[in-house]
Amino acid sequence: MSDITKLSLNELIQNIRNKKLSSTEITNSFIERSEKSKKLNTYVTDNFSSALEAAKIFDEKPNMDLKLPGIPIAVKDLFCTNGVRTTAGSNILNNFIPPYESTVTQSMWDEGAILLGKLNCDEFAMGSSNETSFFGNVQNPIGENLVPGGSSGGSSAALAASLTPVTIGTDTGGSIRQPASFTGTVGLKPTYGSCSRYGIVAFASSLDQAGPMSQNVKDAALLLEVISKFDNKDSTSIDFKRNKYSSELTNNIKGLKIGIPNEYRVEGMPKEIEDLWKKGIEIIKDCGAEIVDISLPTTKYALPTYYIVAPAEASSNLARYDGVKYGFRSEGENLIDMYEKTRSEGFGEEVKRRILIGTYVLSSGYYDAYYLKAQKVRQLIKNDFDNVYNNVDAILTPSTPSSAFKIGEKTDDPVSMYLNDIFTVPVNLAGLPGISIPAGVDDKGFPLGLQIIGKPFDEQTILNIAYSMEEKINFKNNITDWWM
């Protein structure tokens, strides 16, 4: 076998089932490569020795009927893993070892997958560059000193660098799709309510969704099939009939209507993004689908809405980190003093900024002007999508307004950082599924992604469109292993 780590998830599974490779061999390969890739800073906590043990146990009595037989997988450090430290990229959870497992990761282990380790991310998933992590920057394998996107930056970088065959991230405003776009990988955010939020460190409850990140669309379909499950431990989990995403995957999208939203042609959009989008439209036409111009008039208000709703929920979700029950505590003279010291030393600057924004928009006298207003606009944004979905089956947009930028380039200007999510945020606000696939490179040779947005619960259609486009785009990531 030439290089095991370069194989796709589906190829690895085939090799395991054919007994050409063992789980131990595969796990060893990813561990070895990960050990040589510390410079990327993708892992917060590794689980290598336990993973090898688990692989050995799998190989002794392999169950090939499982969907992820003996496959080692590293996950974003926002998923609580039983007995394995879970930090959410924060000092405040620096020493936290959950005595429970998130539903999503449990579903993966139930299908034979093995935990390789916990991947770096922006602190509490708040960021678009992985620069807010307490555990430091992550390097984008595309090029030195480039951000891998965020918040699932450790995940996108580890995936692009072949340190894990697939991974899972979480997406609140673009945190799967934007880093996928920055690293030339595939990232899917499912419909809100598809994947259980139980055991995932919460950022903004009404927006958070877990989803697969992979080298190709077929792998994403398979991983989605494993993690998309109704869960009665999450009151917002939805009991709908899920497709067999991987076996129902088809490249026949003839006759589908794909909407092109006029409002996504934002002012100052770089020409290369514009060109990429045009290229996407041509490919869609080539595949036999129909292009329809559509309008989503409230689009420009999505980002301001998001920056009210998400911080508001976060300010409340993060109140539990108070130094009492778990995690970091800074001793204080009295209870209030302990709270204030713990939280100001335990949280990083971006998290504190968002907690304060959220506290402010919910505070007495401002609730109606900000939070209530935002929830009204959010309804309008949802209505926009509901309306166009009477005429189209899916929507095609760019994933991000730019390719990966330099580490440190945007850290001093929060608003310019927030603008990264301009194309991805409306999808979270409306609770829709969206997938980003690599579609080309910019003039610097950095990958750029296209986003396909679907109807609620219609992950299958966006996967099919992505699958068809992927075939025609035939994107190859140019990873030089510069860090080794």
- CB closer to other proteins out of 199 and 447: 199
Give the shortest CB-174-to-other proteins separation in angstroms. 16
Site for other proteins in 67-96 (CB under 8 A): 80, 86, 88, 93, 95-96
Binding other proteins (rule: CB under 8 A), the pick from 149, 153, 327, 398 is 327
Output the six-digit token pair for 145.
């000193």
Closer by beta carbon to other proteins, 67 or else 353: 353
Q: Reply yes or no on whether 175 is catalytic.
A: yes
Of 367, 391, 408, 444, the one binding other proteins by CB under 8 A: 367
Task: Give least dist CB 481 to other proteins, A.
Answer: 35
Distance CA 159, CA 109 (A): 19
The one catalytic residue among 155, 175, 315, 403: 175
Distance between CA 95 and CA 205 in Å, rounded?
24
Q: Which of 134, 264, 307, 475 binds other proteins (CB under 8 A)?
A: 307
Query: Between residue 266 and residue 305, which ones bind other proteins under the rule CB under 8 A?
Result: 298, 300-301, 303-305
Is 76 noted as a catalytic residue in this protein?
yes
Beta strands in 181-298 (DSSP E): 186-189, 209-214, 257-261, 290-294
Q: Decide if residue 352 touches other proteins (CB under 8 A).
A: yes
Q: Which is nearer to other proteins, 65 or 368 (CB)?
A: 368
29, 76, 214, 246: which is the annotated catalytic residue? 76
37 is catalytic: no
Among 244, 278, 320, 444, binds other proteins (CB under 8 A): 320
Give φ, ψ of 357 to 5 degrees: -60, -45
- Mind giving me the DSSP string for 292-355? EEE--TTGGGHHHHHHHHHHHHHHHHGGG-SSSSSS-----SSHHHHHHHHHHHHS-HHHHHHH
* Angular region, 102: left φ>0, alpha ψ -120 to 50, beta rest: beta
Q: Which of residues 186-225 bind other proteins (CB under 8 A)?
A: 192-193, 197-202, 204-206
Which residue, among 131, 132, 220, 124, has the nearest Cα to 168 in the 3D structure?
220
**Cβ–Cβ under 8 Å, residues 114 and 23:** yes
Quick note: the x/- pattern for other proteins over 455-474, rule CB under 8 A, is -x------------------
Per-residue binding string, other proteins, 27-46, x by CB under 8 A, is: --------------------
Which of these is catalytic: 23, 29, 128, 151? 151
- Looking at the DSSP bridge assignments, the partners of residue 437 are 450
CA 92 to CA 75: how far, in whole Å? Answer: 20
Closest contact distance (angstroms) between CB of 424 and other proteins is: 15
Q: How are beta strands 447-454 and 394-398 bridged, if at all?
A: antiparallel
Q: Catalytic residue positions?
A: 76, 151, 175
